[in-house]
Structure 1
Amino acid sequence: MGKIICFISDQFADFEITLAFHKMKNVGEKEVLSMGYNYETVVSESGLYYKPNLTVNEAMELNDIEGLIIPGGPIRTQKIELTVLINKLDQEEKLIAAICHGPQYLGRAGVLNRRKFTTSCSIEKIHELGVENPFPRENFLDQRVVRDGHVITAKGRAFVDFSFEIFDYLGIYQGKNEEREQLFKDIMDR
């Protein structure tokens, strides 16, 4: 069984990935781990504290990563070790999924230069922040979720759609269509 790694950093949007990780672990029986640049506790957008299970450098040594999930959060700088890990997983055609502002890391790693993608981060926001635009806008699609091969991106408000796209990619509900449909109905009825 492969590991699903989640990159966490200060002010990450934990609500965007909770459904995905809950079902990956409990229905898909995947091993899920949080990863940071170091072991320092981070505080999410919701104010909850999270302590990484492993560092990005330690993740580089694993040979059983099945996927990397990157939630949204602030636009920030990127350390080289994360870029190296993203490129390694891309070359291995492992699942790489990022939501809201999370695709910024894929953009800086060059993954989005050859893939269609979406993000919640507008050009106006980039200009307002006065930072270099990490997104190759010629590949941007104004859609809720975009799946291009093993890379899945989504807008932040599409976290349910994002989760289901990951479930489909990983085959978590394969052969369990009734269970999948009931979960979707339950979520949409709330």
Structure 2
Amino acid sequence: MAAKKILMLVGDYVEDYEVMVPFQALQMVGHTVHAVCPGKKAGEFVRTAIHDFEGDQTYSEKPGHNFVLNFDFDDVKAEDYQGLVVPGGRSPEYLRLNATVLELIQAFDQANKPIAAVCHGPQLLAAAGILDDRECAAYPACGPDVEMAGGHYVELDVTGAHLEGNLVTAPAWPAHPTWLAGFLMLLGTKITL
């Protein structure tokens, strides 16, 4: 397996597990992961938020860690990467206001490169206009975003993931095993035991 270069789009209050786990897991299997945030450089950090499911009508939110970025956003070119990861949390809500972020997502999709989005991450896919007539899982509260963007919201168990074409999407971090497995499959990553 040839190692791939993966781009991860993050911002302040990205969900802690949804940035930390994929960042480490993708490196564990040999891929290079560049975690970037608009307006920030390598060595700077974004704050994370821990979202949990504790029986309330929606998730609870607690302060997470400081996640250190390892690449400069201004140096990112979509053609340098073989895949894209879009974690959830609160960051997609404001990152979708950044035209360069949306152009990056569109470039990955137009090149049919694997895109993995989890929880609120599909808000960025919707804002980038790449969901027209496509199925997409997301945190249930983001279902209307998917539908208003012309997509078809797929309701899944919190541990499930949905694959369609170059997209793998999931409702939240409990889906990491299936979501990341789907992304690795799209990347062509083979793991032998």
In the superposition, the TM-score normalised over structure 1's length comes to 0.77
Match of 2:118 among 85, 96, 99: 99
Q: CA deviation at 1:167?
A: 1.9
Matched residue of 1:147: which SS?
Answer: strand
1:119 maps to amino acid: A
C-alpha separation between the residues in 2 aligned to 1:166 and 1:18? 16
Q: CA deviation at 1:24?
A: 2.1
C-alpha separation between the residues in 2 aligned to 1:66 and 1:37? 20
Q: Is the 8 A contact 1:41 1:49 kept in 2?
A: yes
Compared with structure 1, are the counterparts of its residues 52 and 23 closer, same or farther at alpha carbon in structure 2 (3 Å cutoff)?
A: closer
Q: Is the 8 A contact 2:137 2:155 kept in 1?
A: yes
Q: Kindly report which structure 2 residues correspond to 1:29-68, keeping only aligned pairs within 5 A, or say none.
A: 29-39=30-40, 40-46=44-50, 47-60=64-77, 63-68=79-84
C-alpha separation between the residues in 1 aligned to 2:4 and 2:76? 12
Match of 1:82 among 84, 101, 123: 101
Partner of 1:188: none
C-alpha separation between the residues in 2 aligned to 1:63 and 1:122? 32
C-alpha separation between the residues in 2 aligned to 1:17 and 1:172? 20
Task: List runs of 5+ in structure 2 lacking aligned partners.
Answer: 51-63
Q: CA deviation at 1:55?
A: 4.0
C-alpha separation between the residues in 2 aligned to 1:102 and 1:21? 15
C-alpha separation between the residues in 2 aligned to 1:115 and 1:140? 9
Give per-residue Cα distances to partners, 1:81-116, cap 9 Å, x unaligned. 100000011111111110001110001101111321
Match of 2:147 among 121, 131, 136: 136
Q: Greater helix percent: which structure?
A: 1
Partner of 1:20: 22
Partner of 2:88: 72
Task: List runs of 5+ in structure 1 lacking aligned partners.
Answer: 127-132, 180-190
Q: CA deviation at 1:122?
A: 1.8
Which has the greater radius of gyration? 1
Matched residue of 1:93: which SS?
Answer: coil
How many residues matched?
166
Taking only the aligned residue pairs, the percentage that are identical comes to 25
Q: CA deviation at 1:17?
A: 4.4
C-alpha separation between the residues in 2 aligned to 1:104 and 1:55? 23
1:34 maps to amino acid: A
Compared with structure 1, are the counterparts of its residues 141 and 59 closer, same or farther at alpha carbon in structure 2 (3 Å cutoff)?
A: same
Compared with structure 1, are the counterparts of its residues 99 and 51 closer, same or farther at alpha carbon in structure 2 (3 Å cutoff)?
A: same
Q: Is the 8 A contact 2:83 2:187 kept in 1?
A: no
C-alpha separation between the residues in 1 aligned to 2:72 and 2:133? 28
Matched residue of 2:154: which SS?
Answer: coil
Give per-residue Cα distances to partners, 1:118-138, cap 9 Å, x unaligned. 101426xx8xxxxxx532265
Q: Is the 8 A contact 1:4 1:33 kept in 2?
A: yes
C-alpha separation between the residues in 2 aligned to 1:43 and 1:22? 17
